[in-house]
Structure 1
Amino acid sequence: MIPCEETPFLDQTFDTITVCSAYHHFPDAKGFAREAYRLLKPKYYAGDPSR
């Protein structure tokens, strides 16, 4: 396992990142959001059903 706030993947590697019912449990949710933004290809969609 690797920390979700700092991954070894290249920028814009993924079309989709899925997190179900866990985002609000991350110790550094903002760090994860920054990393997800870096990893996702352009035209991404983000949603948080708990908000």
Structure 2
Amino acid sequence: MRVSKTQQANNQRAIIAAAVELMTQHGFEATTMKQIARAANLGDATI
């Protein structure tokens, strides 16, 4: 499935925001990609 450049940018912003939030709360080592994907409301494969 093709994703528009706008959607790619939105996904990237959501991933970064979720990652920063989770890593701030739980630390770098304790944060998983799956947690980031879920917090960003994206599928695991999107990350």
TM-score in terms of structure 2 length: 0.34
Structure with greater helix percent: 2
TM-score in terms of structure 1 length: 0.32
